[in-house]
Amino acid sequence: MKVLLIYPEFPLTFWSFKYALKFIGKKASDPPLGLLTVAALLPPSWEKKLVDMNTQKLSVKDILWSDFVFISAMDVQKISFNKVVKMCNDLNVKIVAGGPMVTQNHESFPNVDYFILNEAEITLEAFLKDFEEGHLERVYETKEFSDLSRTPIPNWSLLNMKDYASMDLQYSRGCPFNCEFCSITTLFGNKTRVKETSKFLDEINSLYSSRWRGPVFIVDDNFIGNKKNLKNEMLPALIKWQKEHNYPFNFTTEVSINLSDDEVLMDLMREAGFDSCFVGIESPIEESLNECRKIQNQGRDLVKSVKIMQRKGFSVMGGFIIGFDNDPIDIFEKQEEFIRKSGIVTAMVGLLSAPKGTILYKKLKSENRIISEISGNNTDGRLNFITQINQGKLKNGYKELMKKLYHPKIYYERIKMFLLEYSPPPKNTMNRSLLYIVKALFKTVIKLGIFRKEGKRYFWRLFGYTLVNHPGQLGLALTFAVYGYHFQMVAESI
C-alpha cells in the first residue's frame, strides 16, 4: 500500500509566526507530530510520503501516487482541509481522516471516506485489522484512552527538519482541570497519562540521532499535570541526559499557573533546559475566572505568579480571553493593564469561542446562543455565540486592544519590563551555529532597524537599552522584536 499523509495549510494566525519565520529562513514553526506518529503506527511494509502544505505544495501527482490519503487537521485548518478533500474526491482517491477537528465534528465532512477518531493507538489498529480482513467500517471511534506505552517514536525520516523552527514531542495527555471553554478534557480526559521515562528518553535520543539541535516543543496541554512523576523520575533523568549530551535542546511547553507555587519543580525544569512556557491566564477579572471554572487561577495575585516564573528563568507566554458573560465594559483596559504590569511579551488575546463538545458549548446551546461553528483562529475577531456585551463593541474594542498591545513603542516597553525581571539560565542551551546567529541578527537589524518605517526608532532604543543594561540578553530581545513584527501584522489583519 502507498499512503500519502497530508497536513493542511494554516492561515495567518498568532501562532503561525509566518512573518517571523522569514528572519531565520524557516518555512513552518512546528512539524505535524500527529501524522508522524500515525506513520509510525502503519505497517512497515507500506510506502509512506508526507506533504506538509505549510512547507511544500500539494500536487495532483502526489495524490495519484497513493492508495490512501491520510489527513489530520485542527479547526483553524478547515478551509485547506476541505480543498484537499475535494482534490482527492475529484481524483477518486480514498481519504482517511483523523485529528481533533474531525473527532469533535466528523458529521460535517460527508465527503471523507473513513474516519479514525479519538486516539489513533486504539482506532487505527482497528482500522488496519478490518482492512486486512477486507471489510472496512466508515467510522472508527472509542471512549477509551490509550496507554502511552503504545505510542511509537515519530517517523522523523518523512520530514525535512531544515524546514522547521522547532521539533515537537509529547510526554503526557490529559489535564486535571476542567475549564469550560477547553476541549482538552473531552479529547484526552481529566487524568494525566504520562509516558514511561525510558520511552520518552528514547524519543529524545531519536531526535538527537536525527541531528536536530535547538528548540523542542513539548506539546502537552498541561506538562505539569503529574508533578510527582516529573519531580521524581522524568526531569532528573532528562537533566542527566542533557548534561551528558552538552544541552543540545532547549524546551518550551504549556503549563498551568500553579507551577509558580512549586519552586522545586521550576528549578528542575530550568535545569533540564526549559526556558519558556505558555500559561492560560485568561482574565484578570475574578468573576470571569469563576464563570469559566478556571479554578487554578482564582484567589491569587496573577501578576505576582507570572513574575515568580520570570525570575526563575522562564519566558512566560500568556493566553487571554475576552467575551465572558461577567466581563465588565472596561475589560479591554483591564486586560491591557494586566499585560503591561506582568511584562508578558507574547500575549495572545482572543475572543471567547465555544468549541463543540465543551461544557461552554453545551451551556450556550441550551440557552440558544450558539450561532455558528468556531473558526479555530483565536485572533481573527470572530464570535460563534451571542455575547452579553454588544458584539459590535466587543469586536471593535478587541481590534483596538490588539493594535495597542503590538504597537512598537508599547510592545518594546514590555520587552524592557520583562528583562528587568528575567533571570537568565547559567548555561546557553540554544545550541545554534555562529553563522546561523549572525544571519538572523543581520536580517533583524536590516528589516526592523533600517527598512521598517513604523517603529524603527523604538527598535534602536530597545537595541541600545539591552546592549547597555542586559548585554547577555540581546539575542533574546531581538528574537522578541522579530515576534513583535509578526504580531503587528496579525493585529493589522483583524
CATH of the domain at 49: 3.40.50.280
Confidence at residue 426, expressed as pLDDT on a 0 to 100 scale = 67
Cα separation, 293 vs 156, whole angstroms: 39
- 136 and 170 inside one domain: no
Q: Which of 401, 421, 441 is the last residue of a domain?
A: 421
- 170 and 136 inside one domain: no
- 125 and 193 inside one domain: no
Which single residue is written with the C-alpha cell 503561525?
16
Q: Judge whether 149 lies within some domain.
A: no
- Give the rounded percent of residues in the chain with a pLDDT score beyond 90: 92
- 216 and 333 inside one domain: yes
Q: Which of 6, 51, 30, 41 is nearest to 155 (CA)?
A: 41
Quote the radius of gyration of the chain (alpha carbons, Å). 22
- 177 and 135 inside one domain: no
Q: Judge whether 427 lies within some domain.
A: no
Confidence at residue 442, expressed as pLDDT on a 0 to 100 scale = 87
- Give the rounded percent of residues in the chain with a pLDDT score beyond 70: 98
Secondary element (H or E) of residue 426? none
- 202 and 247 inside one domain: yes
Q: Judge whether 82 lies within some domain.
A: yes
Which single residue is written with the C-alpha cell 518523512?
158
CA angle 303/307/309 to nearest 5° reads 120
Domain count, the chain: 2
- 175 and 31 inside one domain: no
- 92 and 183 inside one domain: no
Q: Judge whether 223 lies within some domain.
A: yes
Q: What's the pLDDT tens digit per position in 432-484?
A: 555 566 777 888 999 999 988 888 999 999 999 999 999 989 989 999 999 99
Cα separation, 357 vs 180, whole angstroms: 10
Secondary element (H or E) of residue 228? helix 227-229
pTM of the model: 0.95
Q: Judge whether 32 lies within some domain.
A: yes
As a residue count, the chain comes to 494
In the predicted model, what is the mean pLDDT of residues 276-289?
A: 98
In the predicted model, what is the mean pLDDT of residues 296-323?
A: 97
Q: Judge whether 490 lies within some domain.
A: no
Q: Which of 364, 396, 421 is the last residue of a domain?
A: 421
Q: Which domain holds residue 241?
A: 166-421
Left, alpha or beta for 214 (phi > 0: left; psi -120 to 50: alpha)? left
- Backbone φ and ψ for 154, nearest 5 degrees, come out as -55, 150
Q: What's the pLDDT tens digit per position in 139-154?
A: 999 999 999 999 999 9
Cα separation, 15 vs 300, whole angstroms: 28
- 171 and 135 inside one domain: no
- 114 and 53 inside one domain: yes
pLDDT at 383 over 60: yes
- 328 and 372 inside one domain: yes
Mean pLDDT, the chain, integer: 95
Q: Judge whether 456 lies within some domain.
A: no
Q: Which of 421, 448, 469 is the last residue of a domain?
A: 421
- 91 and 211 inside one domain: no
Domain CATH for 315: 3.80.30.20
Cα separation, 236 vs 222, whole angstroms: 19
Q: What's the pLDDT tens digit per position in 170-223?
A: 999 999 999 999 999 999 999 999 999 999 999 999 999 999 999 999 999 999
Cα separation, 492 vs 494, whole angstroms: 6
In the predicted model, what is the mean pLDDT of residues 77-82?
A: 98
Q: Judge whether 460 lies within some domain.
A: no
Confidence at residue 433, expressed as pLDDT on a 0 to 100 scale = 53
Do 17 and 152 form a contact (C-beta atoms < 8 A)?
Answer: no
